[in-house]
Amino acid sequence: MQQKIDFLIIGSGIAGLSYALKVANHGKVLVITKANRDETNTKYAQGGIAAVTYAPDSIEKHIADTLDAGDGICDEKIVRMVITEGIERIEELILWGTDFDKNEEGTFDLAREGGHSENRILHHKDRTGAEIERTLLEQINKHPNIELHTHLFALDLITQHHLGQEVSRSSGGIECYGVYALNLKTNKVETIQSKITLVATGGAGQLYRTTTNPKIATGDGVAMVYRAKGTVRDMEFIQFHPTGLYHPTESPCFLISEAVRGAGAILRTKDGEEFMQHYDDRASLAPRDIVARAIDNEIKKSGAEFVFLDCTMIDKTHFETHFPTILKKCLRMGIDPMKDFIPVAPAAHYLCGGISVDENGCSDIKNVYAAGECARTGLHGGNRLASNSLLEALVFSHRAYRHGVSAFTEINFKDNIPDWNAEGTSAPKEMILITENRRELQSLMTNYVGIVRNNTRLKRALDRLRIIYGETEALYERTIVSPALCELRNMINLSYLVVKAAMARTENRGLHYNSDLVDSNSKK
């Protein structure tokens, strides 16, 4: 089955949906997602979206905080662009129907999170992402020019390689004509031609055993672009959220929003002692890389598996009003945050690297754009400032829309796109290799490529990854494609990129910390 679409969007989070609403006025739009329409990283964003709204805050303060958190690796031009243009993008969200909390005076009830010098986080209680997702899906449902297909898993970008053509710089470089996608309802691979493709597939938290990311976060978009020979950068910078609710049998890990610390909560050791003041003057409100490493160090020193988050000083009414989801979850576990300390530990949370794009979201594969967590824009540098990610997604999806609509009318569909070649493959005789390799990959990434790394651990990870890669590729060559197998391939690709990038970096910056390195240039 083949179909032709003007604008193909892979992913139904904030980047994909906001882009779809804009390009839909110019052409035929198809949004595809491998799961339910609202199962996205956006949905699970608790804290909010950072923006300058009132004095004494200012754009310059927000820029300075972002650059500081990024540890000297941010692209300052991009930082300034996102923070300045983001204000208008948030106004669009509000016009579409997003309900950000307000105080009794009728102004935004702004929260504060780690690394921010002012209260600037717009939120909808502790489920901001879900509120934004609801708003965008409502708008999508109203638009006659947008189709949203669930359970359609994008496998690979279609490029000249699939046409048997050689690619070189003199020939104009790599060009994308659409994607092959596995229909999970029919188990058939469909060919989707597109003039413009936006990759908005989110992050890759599932590389790790403990993560706040949903099961779908397997790095699919980054892996597809990498296999198509597109540029991927900064993969060593994996952000671990400092305060995942400690519950070793639960996956994904439940997130305790950074806004809780912004409201006054304090991190304590298993003995009840406050410790963050020993690591940073900002104490529990230091940027995430610092807090996550501090917690990791305290856990290793004590032999415990978690530290405590003390919320007992927060006004009960304030906590109930601003963090109802967190309160409900804790009470269900027998923890009363107003009386009891909450056990927390770091969990893989956000990918700061990804598909390399310019200021318009263009990758170096012709007709392919990327936005959201899968894109490496230059905003985050070595470490993402809390609540900057939703802002980034809005700004880059808007810029990709502006750039794409001016180009797509000159793009023609190809006449000779081949269908997916499944010749020589058969149904897998057993799934054990796929499931065991996925578990082993998550274990080696957790144990060897986590918050604190060293050269020996990275070498072990790379050696074992090569074995897992060989086994999985051999299975892929002889087996009919399945979601589990394709996700595993993507996770292996991403893990390899993370390890190689970590081995290549010779200084400790931001989220990358190698205990074998002594780097006088590192600030943290």
Domain boundaries, the chain: 2-236+352-369+379-410, 242-346, 432-504
Q: What is the mean pLDDT of residues 84-112?
A: 95
CB atoms within 10 A of CB 281: 8
More confident: 523 or 125: 125
Question: Which residues does residue 368 pair with via DSSP β-bridges, in sequence order?
Answer: 197
CB atoms within 10 A of CB 429: 8
- CA-angle at 152, arms to 155 and 358, nearest 5°: 55
Q: Is the dihedral of CA 363, 366, 368, 369 positive or negative?
A: positive
Question: Does residue 315 have a pLDDT over 70?
Answer: yes
From 126-130, 309-313, 437-441, the region with the lowest mean pLDDT: 126-130
> What are the structure tokens assigned to 332, written together?
């269900």
Whole-number Å distance between alpha carbons of 423 and 139: 42
Whole-number Å distance between alpha carbons of 200 and 182: 17
The answer, yes or no, to whether the previous bond of 144 is cis (omega within 30 of 0) is: no
The conformation of residue 409, written as its DSSP 8-state character, comes to G
Question: Does residue 428 have a pLDDT over 80?
Answer: no
Domain 2-236+352-369+379-410 classified CATH 3.30.2010.10? no
Residue 429 falls in which region: left (phi positive, over 0), alpha (psi -120 to 50) or beta: alpha
What pLDDT does 171 receive?
64
Residues 355, 199 contacting (CB under 8 angstroms): yes
Whole-number Å distance between alpha carbons of 143 and 328: 36
Please report which helix (H) or strand (E) contains residue 3, including its range: strand 2-10
- CA-angle at 505, arms to 379 and 501, nearest 5°: 75
Whole-number Å distance between alpha carbons of 240 and 211: 8
What pLDDT does 523 receive?
45
| Beta strand ranges found along 81-165 (DSSP E) | 121-122, 146-149, 152-158
Spot the catalytic one: 268, 288, 399, 509. 288
Whole-number Å distance between alpha carbons of 150 and 16: 14
Whole-number Å distance between alpha carbons of 86 and 49: 10
Q: Strands 29-32, 178-183: parallel, antiparallel or unpaired by DSSP?
A: unpaired
What pLDDT does 427 receive?
77
Per-residue confidence at 170, pLDDT binned at 50, 70, 90?
A: low
> What are the structure tokens assigned to 446, written together?
């957790």
Please report which helix (H) or strand (E) contains residue 327, including its range: helix 324-332
Whole-number Å distance between alpha carbons of 450 and 514: 10
Helices assigned H by DSSP within 161-252? 220-227
What pLDDT does 318 receive?
95
Question: Does residue 12 have a pLDDT over 50?
Answer: yes
Percent of the chain whose predicted confidence (pLDDT) is above 70? 97
Residues 116, 50 contacting (CB under 8 angstroms): yes
On whether the pTM is more than 0.85, the answer is yes
What pLDDT does 520 receive?
39
Spell out the residues 6+ positions from residue 409 whose beta carbon is closer than 8 angstroms to its own: none
Spell out the residues 6+ positions from residue 160 whose beta carbon is closer than 8 angstroms to its own: 166, 167, 171, 174, 175
Whole-number Å distance between alpha carbons of 254 and 493: 26
pLDDT one-digit tens code per residue, 19-64? 999 999 999 999 999 998 888 878 888 889 999 999 999 999 999 9
Question: Does residue 1 have a pLDDT over 60?
Answer: yes
> What mean pLDDT is reported for the chain?
93
Per-residue confidence at 430, pLDDT binned at 50, 70, 90?
A: low
Question: Coil, helix or strand for 68?
Answer: helix
Per-residue confidence at 521, pLDDT binned at 50, 70, 90?
A: very low
Question: Does residue 524 have a pLDDT over 60?
Answer: no
Q: What is the mean pLDDT of residues 229-236?
A: 97
Whole-number Å distance between alpha carbons of 419 and 164: 13
How far are the Cα atoms of 222, 223, 346 from residue 498, in angstroms, in the given order? 12, 12, 18
What pLDDT does 405 receive?
95
Question: Coil, helix or strand for 102?
Answer: strand
What pLDDT does 44 receive?
81
Looking at the structure, give the CATH architecture of the domain made up of residues 242-346.
Alpha-Beta Complex (3.90)
Assigned fold of 432-504: Methane Monooxygenase Hydroxylase; Chain G, domain 1 (1.20.58)
The question of whether 332 is a catalytic residue gets the answer no
Whole-number Å distance between alpha carbons of 280 and 387: 21
Whole-number Å distance between alpha carbons of 352 and 288: 12
Rg (CA), the chain: 22
pLDDT one-digit tens code per residue, 276-295? 999 999 999 998 899 999 99
What pLDDT does 522 receive?
46
